[in-house]
Amino acid sequence: MDLSFFEEMEARIPKSGVRTRFAPSPTGYMHVGNLRTALYTWCIARHYGGTFILRIEDTDQARLVEGAVDIIYKTLADCGLSHDEGPDLGGPVGPYVQTERRALYAKYADLLIERGHAYRCFCEKSESAEDSGVFTKTDDPCRDLPREVSDARAAAGEPFVVRQRIPHEGVTTFHDEIFGDISTPNADLDDQVLLKRDGLPTYNFANVVDDHLMGITHVVRGTEYLSSAPKYNLLYEGFGWEIPKYVHCSPVMRDSHNKMSKRHGDPSYEDLIAQGFLTDAVVNYVALLGWSPGGEREFFNIQELAEVFTLQGLSKSPAIFDIDKLTHFNAAYIRALSPEAFAAVAEPWIRQAVKNPAVDPAAIAALLQQRTERLSEIPGKIGFFDELPPLQPELFVNKKAKSSLESSKNALLAAIPVLENLPEWSDEAILSSMKALAESLGIKPATLLWPLRIAVSGQLVTPGGAVELCRILGREESIRRLRLGIEAVS
Q: Which residues are catalytic?
A: 262
Q: What share of the chain is helix, strand, coil (3-state, %, to 5)?
A: 50, 10, 35
Coil/strand/helix, residue 456: helix
- Helix 203-213 with 229-239: angle, nearest 10 deg: 50
Residue type at position 348: P
Radius of gyration of the CA atoms of the chain, in A = 32
Measured between alpha carbons, how far is 66 from 27 in angstroms, rounded to an integer? Answer: 8
Q: What burial letters (b/e) apply to 165-201, b meaning 16+ CB within 10 Å?
A: bbeeeeebebebbbbeebebeeeebbbbbbbbeeebb
Chain Cα centroid distance, residue 460:
36
- Cβ atoms < 10 Å from Cβ of 242: 9
CB 53 within 8 A of CB 85: yes
**DSSP class of residue 373?**
S
Question: What is the end-to-end Cα distance of the chain in Å, rounded?
Answer: 99
Cα distances (angstroms) measured from residue 92 to each of 51, 84, 254: 12, 11, 40
For residue 284, which of 305, 267, 270, 269 has the smallest C-alpha distance?
305
| Burial of 102 from C-beta contacts in 10 A (0-12 / 13-18 / 19+) | middle
Residue type at 253? M
Asked whether 247 and 314 are in contact (CB, 8 A), the reply is yes
